Structure 1
Amino acid sequence: MKKQELIHLHGLLAQVQNHYEQDTGSTVEHDEYAELGVKPTSIHKSKTDHKAAVFAIADGITSEMTAEEKEPVSAAAD
């Protein structure tokens, strides 16, 4: 995958995260992503940096969704 494609994917995942957070009212916690310091707008960062960020943000989103699925139905309704 080219760097430009990774940056685009990174931006799309950031939008998915924002939409998910607005839809559920929760915050996606991903310390690994925050520690990387790579945002979709960080076009000066390397391809490797963006690849790591894509994996970190995707992991954070999926972990949050998995945790939400495992919550009891009554807790999710609150």
Structure 2
Amino acid sequence: MKKQELIHLHGLLAQVRDHYEENKGETVTHERYTDLGVKPTSIHKSKTDHKAAVFALADGITDELESEDAERVSAAAD
């Protein structure tokens, strides 16, 4: 994947995170992503930096979605 494509993917994932946070009504912490200090607008960062950020952000989003699904399981049977 080219650097430009990776930056685009990074931006899309950031929008997914923002949309999720708006719907949930609170900020979700993505410590691993935040610690990297790479944002989609950081075009001066290397391709490797953006790749690490994409994986960290994707992992953070999926972890949050998985924990949300675990909370919604109903014990009642139909």
TM-score by length of 2: 0.88
What is the distance in 1 between the residues matched to 2:53 and 2:72? 31
What is the Cα deviation at residue 54 of structure 1? 0.2
Write the mapping of 1:1-78 to structure 2, written as runs, cut at 5 A: 1-72=1-72
Which stretches of structure 1, 4 residues or more, deviate above 4 A after TM superposition? none
What is the distance in 1 between the residues matched to 2:26 and 2:37? 22
What is the Cα deviation at residue 73 of structure 1? 5.6
CA RMSD of aligned residues (A): 1.4
Percent of pairs identical after alignment?
74
TM-score by length of 1: 0.88
Q: Which runs of 5+ in 1 are unaligned?
A: none
Instruction: Look at both structures and tell me which one has the larger radius of gyration over its CA atoms.
Output: 2
Q: Which runs of 5+ in 2 are unaligned?
A: none
Query: How many residue pairs are counted as aligned between the two chains?
Result: 74
Cα deviation code 1:18-60 (max 9, x no counterpart): 0011112233221110000000000000000000000000000
What is the distance in 1 between the residues matched to 2:48 and 2:39? 13
Which stretch shifts more, 51-60 or 25-34?
25-34
